[in-house]
């Protein structure tokens, strides 16, 4: 029993699929009664990789990311792993 009878405080992203996943977890685990708070947090979104790039451009970006470091590399018009961490904390 991973959670037991502890109170739950659930944070989820504004994406519909995140809300659906949270509902499925609560429903499947019969956790609705012990869930005290459900909070939508707009900071909980996926990393932005930039928009409208070609497949070739994205492959080049990924190669550059490997050389520079996955966590610190910032995609053109996107964000780095560090950016995500700073946004979400």
Residue 23 has which token pair? 């509902």
Residues 34, 9 contacting (CB under 8 angstroms): no
Q: How far apart are CA 62 and CA 11, in angstroms?
A: 30
The DSSP element (H or E) to which 11 belongs, if any, is strand 8-12
Q: What is the pTM (predicted TM-score) of this model?
A: 0.62
User: What string of pLDDT tens digits covers the 89 residues of the chain?
Assistant: 678 888 999 999 999 999 999 999 999 989 988 999 999 998 888 888 777 678 888 889 889 999 999 999 998 888 899 998 998 88
Q: How far apart are CA 56 and CA 85, in angstroms?
A: 28
């Amino acid at each position: 029993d991973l959670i037991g009878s502890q109170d739950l405080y659930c944070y989820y992203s504004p994406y519909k699929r995140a809300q659906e996943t949270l509902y499925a977890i609560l429903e499947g685990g019969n956790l609705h009664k012990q869930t005290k708070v459900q909070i939508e947090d707009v900071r909980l979104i996926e990393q932005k990789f930039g928009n409208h790039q070609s497949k070739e451009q994205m492959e080049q970006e990924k190669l550059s990311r490997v050389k520079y470091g996955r966590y610190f590399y910032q995609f053109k018009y996107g964000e780095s792993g560090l950016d995500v961490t700073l946004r979400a904390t």
